[in-house]
Amino acid sequence: MLQAIGLTSTPRRDRPPAVDDLTFEARPGTVTALLGATGSGKTTALRMMLEREPGRGVTYFRGRPLHRIAHPAREVGVLLGDVPGHPARTCRGQLRMLCAAAGVPASRADAMLDIVGLAGLRDQRLGTLSLGMERRLGLAAALLGDPHTLLLDEPANGLSPRENSWLFGLLRAHAAHGGTVLYTTDDPKEAARTADHVVTISGGRLVADQDAAAFSRTRLRPRVAVRTPHAARLAALVTREARAAQRSVEVVTEEGNRLCVYGSDCAEVGETAFRHGVLLHQLADEIGDTGPDPAAAPTATRAPVSVPAPSPAPPTAPPADPERLTHPERPADPARPTAGASPTTTLPYQAHYKLHPHQPPPPLAVKPLRSPLRPLRYELCRLLGVPTARMITAATLLLSVALAAFLARHGTTPLPAVLAAWPALLPLPPAALAAGLLGALSFGDEYRHPVLSSGAGTVPRRLGLLLAKLAVTAATAVLLALLAAAADLAALRLLYGGAVIPVPGNWPALCAGWAGLSVGCAWAGLLAAGVFQATMAGVAAVLAVPVVVAPLVQQVLAGPSVRSLAGLPGRLRELSWTEWPHEADRWLLAVARVVAQPVGTALVLSVTALTCVYLFTGLRRRARW
C-alpha cells in the first residue's frame, strides 16, 4: 500500500505551495489515478513521494519511507516524464546499467526487452526511439527490479489508441497480481475508463477521493450519444426546441456524424428526431469516454462506460489469448471491464506480462544481490555505454601532442611541462582538464538523465556509489594522464629524435605528481557536480582550483617559515606498526613535494571541502524526510 500523508511542498518566491497538505492512499491490487489539471501539483506530488522535491510530509511504501528501504528499485518502479537516459545509449545498455543499480542479473535486461516488445530494437539508440517505444522502454526500466509499486507521470500523454490500450493493459496486469499502481493524468475520461480509484486534486489540495464508479456518477457529465447522417440538422432542431422550452441543452458536434447532447435524455432526443423524420444510427446514454472515433482508428474499439454498476468479477480467470499476447499492438479485447470494475478482474494479457505464452520472464531472487561490485559495475556501464569518454580521450590526446610539439620546438620550456603539454597560459594541462570534465560528467549525468529515479533521494548519495565513482574516475584520470604523457614523449622523440628528448631520470616522481594532479581534478569535478547537481558546476570547480584557490594558497605560503618537513618519513616510520622499505621514503617525499605546491595544496583543500559539503548535504536531505 502507498500512503501519502500531509505532503506540502516548499513555497517559492512568495507563491502558495504547489502541493498543500495532500493525503491519500493507493491500495494494492488497484490502479489509482491522480487527476488534476495542468499545474495542479500532480508531478510535484510524485517527486515528493520519491524524495526529490523539498517539503514536509511523508510517504510510506508498505509501511516504510523511501529512504528507509534498502533497495528502492525492488520496491518502487518510476516513470517520470520522458525516458531517462543518454540519447547515445542503447536500449540494452540502458537496462543493463539499471540491472547493476537494482542488484538483479544482467540477463533481466534482455528478458524485459522481450516482454515489452523491444527485442528487435535492443541495439537502437535512445535518441532515435519514437514516443511509444520510449514508453515501452520506460515501463521495462520501471519493472526491471520486480517492484511492488509503480509511479508514473502522465504515461499515456501523446500515445496512440493502440499504445494507450497496451499501456493500461500492462498496468492493470501489474495490479491484478497484487501490485500498486499510481499514475497521473489530466483527462477525467481517461481516469474513469482506466482506473479503479480516482484521487482528484486542484491547486495542490485534495478535492475528491472516490472509486471509479462514484467518480463517473458525480464528477463526469452524463450525455446522450447520437450518430446520424443528418447530424447538423438534428443539432439545430434539438437546440431550437430546447431554446423554445427554456431548457439548458448543449449540443457538441464531433467527427463521424456524431453528436453529444448534454442536459437532455434519450427520450427527448429520440422524440425530436421522430417528429422531424431524422434517421438515427445510435442513441444511447453515456458517462465517461466513448473511446476513439472509428473513422480515425478503425481497429481500436472501446465500449463506453455504462451507468449501471458493473457485475462482479467471475470467480475464475479466463484463459490467456495467445494471439493477443503475441501481438500487443492489436486492439484490446472488447470484453474489457468497465470503470469501477473489481480489481481482481483478469484481462486476456495478464499472464505475468508474457508476450509469448511459453516464454515467461525469469524469476528474480527473493533478495537482491549484496555485492560491493554492484555500484562499481553500474559506474562502468554508465561510463562505457556512451562514446563521450572515448571522444574526450581522443580529443585530449590530439591536443596534448600538438601542444607538446609546439612547446618543445622553442626549447625554453622545462621538459616536465613539455611532456605534460602545460603552457604557462593555460590554468591546467589538457589531460587534467579532461579528467575534471569526466569527473563532472560522472555525477552530472545522474541529474541530467536521472536513471535512478526510484532512489534518487538515497541511491546517488550512498557511500557505495560514491566510492565506486571515486575509484572509476581516479582510474580513468590516471590512465588518461599516462596515455597523454606517453603519447607526448613518443611524438617528441619521433619529431626531434631520442637524444634531444631524453626520458627524465626522476620519471617515477614526475608520474606520481602528474597522476595526483589528474586524480585531484577528477575528484573535484565529481564532488562539485554531486553537490550542485550540474555538470557545469563540476567544470567550474576544476577551473577554480588553479585560478582562484591556488593564488590564495600561494599568498599564504609566501610568508617566512621557521619550520621544515625534513625528516617526515622517519617520524612516520616511528608511528607505524610495521616497517616499510627505505625506498618508500623517496616516494613519500615526492608526494609531500607535490602536495606542498600551491596547485597541489589547493586541490587537497578543494577536494576535502567538497567531500564534507557532499556528505553534509546527503545527511541533511535524509534528516529532512
463: its cell numbers: 557511500
Terminal CA-CA length for the chain: 19
C-alpha 74/C-alpha 458 separation (Å) is 14
Residue 206 has what pLDDT?
Answer: 93
Query: How many C-beta atoms lie closer than 10 Å to residue 45's C-beta?
Result: 30
Residue 413, classed as helix, strand or coil, is coil
- Assess contact for 26 and 181: CB atoms under 8 A: yes
pLDDT tens for each residue of 454-509: 444 444 446 778 889 999 999 999 999 999 999 998 998 888 887 777 777 777 77
> Is the pTM higher than 0.75?
no
Task: State mean pLDDT over 517-539.
Answer: 91
Among 478, 402, 459, which residue's Cα sits nearest to residue 71? 459
Q: Which amino acid is at 590?
A: A
Neighbours of 4 (CB within 10 A): 23
DSSP, residue by residue, 146-188? --SEEEEESTTTT--HHHHHHHHHHHHHHHHTT-EEEEEES-H
CA 387 to chain centre: 20
* Exposed/middle/buried for residue 498 (C-beta within 10 Å: 0-12, 13-18, 19+): exposed
- For the chain, domains (ranges, CATH) are 2-215 (3.40.50.300), 223-310 (3.30.70), 373-557+566-624 (no CATH)
pLDDT in tens, 68-84: 887 788 889 888 876 66
Long-range contacts of 130-139 (CB under 8 A, 24+ apart): 131/158, 131/159, 132/159, 132/160, 132/163, 134/82, 134/83, 135/79, 135/83, 135/159, 135/163, 135/167, 137/83, 137/91, 137/94, 137/95, 138/79, 138/83, 139/79, 139/167, 139/170
d(CA 399, CA 511): 20
DSSP label at 347? P
What pLDDT, in 10s, does the model give residues 573-622? Answer: 666 666 666 656 555 555 555 555 667 778 888 888 988 888 887 655 54
Distances (CA, A) of 213 to 177, 196, 224, 266, 602: 22, 8, 18, 21, 66
DSSP alpha helix (H) spans, 208-263 = 212-219, 231-244
Mean pLDDT within 163-177:
89
Alpha helices, DSSP H only, in 497-597?
Answer: 507-532, 535-544, 550-557, 568-575, 583-596
For residue 323, is pLDDT > 50? Answer: no
In the sheet with 31-35, reading across from the earlier edge strand, the strands are 76-79, 149-153, 180-185, 31-35, 197-202, 205-211
